[in-house]
Amino acid sequence: MQHLNYNGSPLAYIDEGSGPVTVVAVPGLPGTSRDFRHLAPHLAAHLRLIRVDLPGYGGSPRPEFAGASITQRARPVRALIEALELAPVVLLSHSAGAHVVAHLSHHHPHLVRSCVLLAPPGPHLVYPQWCFRGWSLLLHMPAGRRIWAPLVRAVQNAAGYQHHLTDDERAHPVLDDSVVDLGEHAADLTSMRHPTMVASARDDPILHAEWFREVESLVPHGPRLHYDHGGHAIQKTHANELGPAIVNFALADTEETRHSPQARRQHTDPRRT
């Protein structure tokens, strides 16, 4: 694990492999660099892979107990890309990491070569946003984190969250989802400027399959990989298939499509079941 100084706090990341293209992997909420450990051997054999812990998760502390907006979550990824002089990179995300990838593709296109969205959310949340805002208020009450942590833990475990997460790592996504701007995310998806691979499983227990189809209709062209089974963590359950597919996509010559507006909005859909 390596660290970059980001706004006075350490930003943790793993740098492995080498190759002509760099992939920066952005986890969801909650999530860490650990979430891509099953894909890492496949990618690092052909590419340089950077797996980052966003502030509040894994090895990256969050100085304040407060929610981070999409823009705030994207800033450390941008800082990492610029500090390590990685651009242009392939941005790889799982779940809510797609918020960050879409934001960077839209607002900082010079940093990006192409995008890979695994189990990405559209402009939706699993629960209504008022739920997250209510939980956030409870967590901010005196002793709220201690009192309400068991309930948050129970709800998240039922939803399939990993049991190793700390109580703060469980609280931070509640705070983050309470401030996420779904309209901003929809605009970012529509305005993405780079070839985009989308992969999902039809039996995802957290996000609805129709949400994935909505994302596919909004983002630029690229492979569309559909699995009947695999759940939400397809980067784990389908690592053997996704790894080579991501490598091939990352190494593809996308120069022409990246600069052709007509081709950029053309949606090819090679389906895999």
pLDDT in tens, 12-38: 999 999 999 999 999 999 899 999 999
Identify the domain boundary among 152, 179, 206: 179
Count of CB atoms within 10 A of residue 38's CB? 18
Run of H or E residues at 115: strand 112-118
In a domain, 272, yes or no: no
Which is nearest to 165 in space by CA: 74, 56, 69? 56
3-state secondary structure (DSSP) of residue 162: coil
Q: Are residues 110 and 211 in the same domain?
A: yes
More confident site: 176 or 165? 176
SS3 164: coil
Structural domain range at position 164: 126-179
Of the residues 179, 204, 224, the one at which a domain ends? 179
* pLDDT at residue 34, rounded to an integer: 94
Is residue 90 domain-shared with residue 204, that is, in the same domain?
Answer: yes
Residues 42 and 170 in one domain: no
Where do runs of H (alpha helix) occur along the chain?
Answer: 40-44, 70-83, 97-107, 129-139, 144-158, 167-179, 182-190, 209-218, 234-237, 239-251, 255-258, 261-264
**What is the rounded average pLDDT for all residues in the chain?**
88
What pLDDT, on a 0 to 100 scale, did the predictor assign at position 162? Answer: 67
pLDDT higher at 120 or 138: 120
| pLDDT over 70 at 68, yes or no | yes
Residue 8: per-residue pLDDT: 92
- pLDDT range class, residue 159, cuts 50, 70, 90: low
231 and 260: one domain? yes
Of 39-43, 58-62, 169-173, 236-240, give the lowest mean pLDDT range: 169-173
Is 79 a member of any domain? Answer: yes
Ramachandran quadrant class, 17 (left: phi over 0; alpha: psi -120 to 50; beta: rest): left
Task: Please tell me the predicted confidence (pLDDT) of residue 244.
Answer: 97
Residues 225 and 197 in one domain: yes
One domain for residues 121 and 173: no
Tokens (6 digits) for 78: 């941008």
Same domain flag for 192 and 234? yes
Domain CATH for 43: 3.40.50.1820
Lowest mean pLDDT among 5-9, 92-96, 187-191, 256-260: 256-260
Using the predicted structure, report yes or no on whether residue 60 has a pLDDT greater than 90.
yes
State the pLDDT confidence band at 131, using cuts at 50, 70 and 90.
confident
Does some domain include residue 271?
no
Amino acid, single-letter form, for residue 226: H
**Within this chain, do residues 95 and 209 fall inside the same structural domain, yes or no?**
yes
In a domain, 270, yes or no: no
Q: Is the pLDDT of residue 141 over 90?
A: no
pLDDT tens digit string along 92-130?
Answer: 999 999 999 999 999 999 999 999 999 999 998 887 888
Q: Is the pLDDT of residue 75 over 80?
A: yes
Q: Please write the tens of the pLDDT for every residue from 181-227.
A: 999 999 999 999 899 999 999 999 999 999 999 999 999 999 999 99
pLDDT of residue 157: 67
- Shared domain check, 83 and 111: yes
Do 65 and 101 belong to one domain?
yes
User: If residue 25 lies in a helix (H) or strand (E), which one and from where to where?
Assistant: strand 22-26
Residue 160 confidence (pLDDT) above 70: no
- Residue 272's pLDDT is 39
Number of domains in the chain: 2
Residue 125, pLDDT score: 84
Q: What is the mean pLDDT of residues 153-173?
A: 74
Same domain, 39 and 132: no
Look at residue 269 and tell me if it is in a domain: no
Please give the structure tokens belonging to residue 30. Answer: 């909650």
The Cα–Cα gap between 118 and 238 comes to 11
Listed in sequence order, the residues at least 6 apart from 238 whose beta carbon sits closer than 8 Å to its beta carbon are 199, 201, 227, 230
Query: Are the beta carbons of 192 and 102 closer than 8 angstroms?
Result: yes
How confident is the model at residue 21, as a pLDDT? 97
Report, in angstroms and rounded to the nearest whole number, the Rg of the chain calculated over CA atoms.
18
Query: What backbone torsions phi and psi does residue 117 show, to the nearest 5 degrees?
Result: -115, 115
pLDDT number for residue 257: 37
Q: Which of 141, 162, 179 is the last residue of a domain?
A: 179
- Residue among 61, 53, 126 at smallest CA distance from 95: 126
Residues 14 and 99 in one domain: yes
Cα 184 to Cα 190: distance, rounded to the nearest angstrom = 10
